[in-house]
């Protein structure tokens, strides 16, 4: 009996080792494959199994409620912009106020001197625009600096002027504005205090 018992024990050991070897081989195989590959392989199978179950059992499937369903139409494509018209944008020059000027009462006229270094070379006579009214005058200088209009506006003159007798002229480094007074009274300031 000892021989049979020994043989029986050996057979049991061999059976145990035979069942353990496949487990060891599977564990070693799983260790050789990186984790991200096993999870990627499992996901499609799980997804396919879910889809297969839903396709097979339709509404009676346990997973039917979890299946993605389209409940609306495809979204409309975004509109394609159409060019209706092309034009060149006109740049409006910025207005820069002139604060530096001098004036003098010269009997029947008042002269206003506006110093602008190089205005005679930089600007033509058409670039100087002057507007005269009975109690105000405005001088705009275009082209003196790119993208800017230099402006002197005196809105409340000390006395009345005759717009027809007024003029602005350009010299090498300044503008001279001549204002023809309506009366012969002396002006003590260019602007009215009232």
pLDDT in tens, 78-137: 999 999 999 888 888 999 999 999 999 988 999 999 999 999 999 999 999 999 999 999
> For residues 27, 33, 34 and 38, what is the CA-based torsion angle, rounded to 10 degrees?
-80
- For residue 126, the Cα-to-chain-centroid distance in whole angstroms is 38
- For domain 94-180, the question of CATH label 2.60.40.790 is answered with yes
Mean pLDDT lowest among 48-57, 138-147, 177-186? 48-57
Domains of the chain, residue spans: 2-66, 94-180
pLDDT of residue 40: 47
**pTM, 2 dp:** 0.55
């Amino acid at each position: 009996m000892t021989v049979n018992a020994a043989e029986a024990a050996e057979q049991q050991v061999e059976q145990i080792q035979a069942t353990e070897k496949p487990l060891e081989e599977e564990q070693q195989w799983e260790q050789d494959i990186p984790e991200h590959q096993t999870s990627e392989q499992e996901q499609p199978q799980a997804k396919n199994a879910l889809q297969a179950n839903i396709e097979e059992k339709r509404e009676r499937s346990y997973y039917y409620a979890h299946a993605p369903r389209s409940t609306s139409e495809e979204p409309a494509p975004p509109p394609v912009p159409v060019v209706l018209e092309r034009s060149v944008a006109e740049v409006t020059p910025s207005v820069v106020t002139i604060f530096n000027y001098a004036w003098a009462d010269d009997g029947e006229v008042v002269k206003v001197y506006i110093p602008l270094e190089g205005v005679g070379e930089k600007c033509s006579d058409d670039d100087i625009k002057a507007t005269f009214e009975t109690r105000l005058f405005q001088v705009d200088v275009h082209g003196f600096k790119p993208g800017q209009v230099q402006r002197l506006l005196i809105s409340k003159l000390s006395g009345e002027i005759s717009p027809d007798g007024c003029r602005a002229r350009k010299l090498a480094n300044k503008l001279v504005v001549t204002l023809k007074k309506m009366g012969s009274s002396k002006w003590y300031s260019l602007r009215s205090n009232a």
